[in-house]
């Protein structure tokens, strides 16, 4: 996890598929207007699980108890982004993080409790 002021080149790459949308300039302006917190989450079914925790992209449709349902006020200010696939996550991790910023670790205590019977 890290907090940073998102460089426009990273935002342009991250949102490259939206560049032809009419809201693209406002999106880049909003995303570069203040700091962002970038995170890498890991675990079983992490893409599906994280998207369930985050909630629907449109905050008006996001369920209470989800991040967007509780904290977002408008679809253009939906508070949080989550990768939609493992492949997308891998691309975004490489975009936002240097390999030296990532920590590889195994939760040995968790593994032993799984196998303790």
Which two tokens mark 46?
Answer: 């992490």
- Output 6-9 pairs: Cβ under 8 A, ≥24 positions apart: 6/31, 6/32, 6/36, 8/32
- Cα–Cα distance measured from residue 117 to residue 111, given in angstroms and rounded to the nearest whole number: 12
Q: Which helix (H) or strand (E) holds 69?
A: helix 67-71
Q: Which residues fall within 8 angstroms of residue 35, CB to CB, at 6 or more apart?
A: 3, 4, 5
Catalytically annotated residue among 14, 16, 74, 81: 81
Q: Does the annotation count 81 as an active-site position?
A: yes
Active-site amino acid positions: 81
């Amino acid at each position: 996890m890290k907090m940073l002021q998102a460089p426009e080149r990273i935002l342009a790459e991250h949102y490259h598929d939206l560049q032809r949308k009419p809201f693209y300039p406002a999106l880049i302006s909003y995303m570069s207007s203040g700091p962002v917190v970038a995170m890498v989450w890991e675990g079983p079914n992490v893409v599906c699980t994280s998207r369930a925790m985050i909630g629907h992209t449109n905050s008006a449709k996001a369920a209470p108890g989800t991040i967007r349902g509780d904290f977002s006020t408008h679809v253009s200010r939906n508070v949080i982004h989550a990768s939609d696939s493992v492949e997308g996550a891998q691309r975004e991790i490489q975009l936002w993080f240097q390999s030296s910023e990532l920590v590889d670790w195994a939760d040995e205590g968790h593994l032993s409790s799984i196998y303790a019977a």
